Amino acid sequence: MSVTELHRPDDDIRRAFRPLFEPRAIAVAGASAKGVSAGNRFIRLLRETGFAGRVFPIHPSADTIEGMTAYRDLAATPEPVDYAYLTVPAERVADVLSKAAGRLGFAQVMASTEPAQQKAWEEDLRALAAQGGFRLIGPNCMGTHSPRGGFTFMEGAITEPGAVGIACQSGGLGMDILRRGQNLGLRFSGLVTIGNSVDLGPSDLLEFHLADPDTRVVGLYIEDVKDGQRFQQLLRRNRGRKPVVLLVGGITGLGRAAAASHTGAMGGSAQAWKALARQCGAVLTESLDGFLDMLQLCLWLTPRPEAAAAGVTLFGNGGGASVLATDALDRAGFRLAAPTAAAQQEFARIDLPPGASLANPIDLPASVLKQEDGRVTARILDINNRCIAPYATIVHLNLPVIMGYRHIPDFLPNLMDAVFGSGGAAHRILVLRSDRSDEVDAWRRTFRAAAAQRGVPSFDEVPQAIQALAAFRDYEEILVRRQDSGTGSPMADRKARA
């Protein structure tokens, strides 16, 4: 794809990527008659996930692979191939691709080669793709996960369609994002591992996901952006309208040794990416967990840039936990939302034992949470929403203590209904604290799945939740500033879509 300042229409972009995300014919080169290779596993996965299109194994000598007719090369398939998955060794890749001219959409190459040969080999592959009229993904990657196309590269991946679009320049990290993400309740509109990105790069997939209506949040893991100017143009045009979460690897301490100026000595890649995020309304994260946390928030929270004062209500069981949470809020630049007179009046009608407090932080022992079979929580959160209307409400539950009351019928369902059902504009965040015993971890998984179903972000610990919320607040502030200074109105766009 040429570097161009022209804005391609979204329809064209989506059409160009249809063979990758919704292929009708997939070729697999690298599966063997003996049936043990990565290619064989991919063919079996296609069956398991119920891929509806045709599958063409490619093999130089075998007649059948995994019970399917095999073809000698990509020129011999009965119809053109939308997506070719290549797990053949590096030295075979060029041979396989050289037969594909004019009848292939995308080729994904898993192999990598010795460092000494890498440059020349990758140049050959790029030339083959250009001559053959197809896009090349990789090399040195793991595959593509496309629920809308009914296929995935990872065993155990959930192929239920979602709204998170990912491009990842590391195959292993791509699998981490898929595994951990789905356990957090994230579902994907697509996840492509793009390896060394000799042809298809981060900018291409950023452009696609920004144009793709199924994708509501974009996440990118980048080590070498390849085409920094085009990448910037895409982000600048987006201006934060669709949330873009970045995890950038290898940005510390680079490029400073040769600096001949104070500015060069102080400005490294970390500064450049931070600047990019601020200018374009992207969210820059520093760890895999931080990345997944922000994907959750960007997916499930509706930005509230209009919320001027960032007052937060803390609600949970555990005195020490509440105190530490208050400190974490302060460090992150939030404050506790003050209970209004109206709220205090209504709170006074709730009958509480000594020791319970409805002043923020609202600290209720589990013995109080269980009152009225857990419905007291709903009453308190309702008053919080109506009379205090904070920027965000963080509900933190110390599960081992709460589990002690699970014999009370309806307690846990009522408690969860109270948390998930509470209305109002406040950002709702759930923290599920476990003692890491198998039993409580299992409960946490259950609650977490329920939270994801209701679009409520959930975290393991309060400080982690607050850190993520602070990053989300930064994103909201960028939206405000871009609204003031820019031509477009990101918030109006978001509301129109909602």
Partner 1 sequence: MAARASDIPLARAGTEDAIVRLLDGAAQGGQAALDEATAKAVLARLGIAVPRGLRLAPDESPAARLDGLRPPFVLKALSGTALHKSDIGAVQLGLRDATEVAEAAAAIAERVADAGVPLSGLLVEEMAAPGVEIVIGGTTDAQLGPMLMLGAGGVFAEILQDVSFRLCPIEQADATQMLDELRIAPILRGTRGRPAVDLAAITRALLALGGPEGFFTLHQARVAEFDLNPLIARPDGLVAVDARIVLTEGQA
Residues that bind partner 1 (CB under 8 A): 5, 224-225, 228-229, 231-233, 254-255, 259-269, 271-276, 278-279, 481, 484-485
C-beta closer to partner 1: residue 156 or 264: 264
Q: Do β-strands 311-316 and 244-248 pair in parallel, antiparallel, or remain unpaired?
A: unpaired
C-beta closer to partner 1: residue 194 or 358: 194
Contact residues for 433 (Cβ-Cβ < 8 A; gap 6+): 318, 321, 396, 397, 398, 399, 460, 461, 462
What is the distance between the alpha carbons of residues 490 and 172, in angstroms, rounded to a whole number?
34
CB of 259 to partner 1, least distance (A): 7
User: Quick one: tokens of 382?
Assistant: 């309702």
Q: For residue 35, how many other CB atoms are within 10 A of its CB?
A: 14
CB of 243 to partner 1, least distance (A): 20
47 φ/ψ angles, rounded to the nearest 5 degrees? -65, -50
Torsion of CA 262, 266, 268, 272, to 10 degrees: -100
Q: Distance from first CA to last CA of the chain, Å, rounded?
A: 33
CB of 483 to partner 1, least distance (A): 10
CB of 8 to partner 1, least distance (A): 17
Identify the bridge partners of residue 69 per DSSP, sorted by sequence position. Answer: 64
CB of 254 to partner 1, least distance (A): 7
C-beta closer to partner 1: residue 266 or 348: 266
C-beta closer to partner 1: residue 264 or 353: 264
C-beta closer to partner 1: residue 276 or 343: 276
Helix/strand/coil (H, E, C) string of 435-466? CCCHHHHHHHHHHHHHHHHCCCCEECCHHHHH
C-beta closer to partner 1: residue 22 or 199: 199
CB of 482 to partner 1, least distance (A): 8
Contact predicate 197/169, CB 8 Å? yes
What is the distance between the alpha carbons of residues 419 and 378, in angstroms, rounded to a whole number?
7
CB of 170 to partner 1, least distance (A): 16
Residue 138 host element (H or E): none
Q: Nearest Cα to 128, choosing from 113, 117, 138?
A: 138
C-beta closer to partner 1: residue 75 or 259: 259
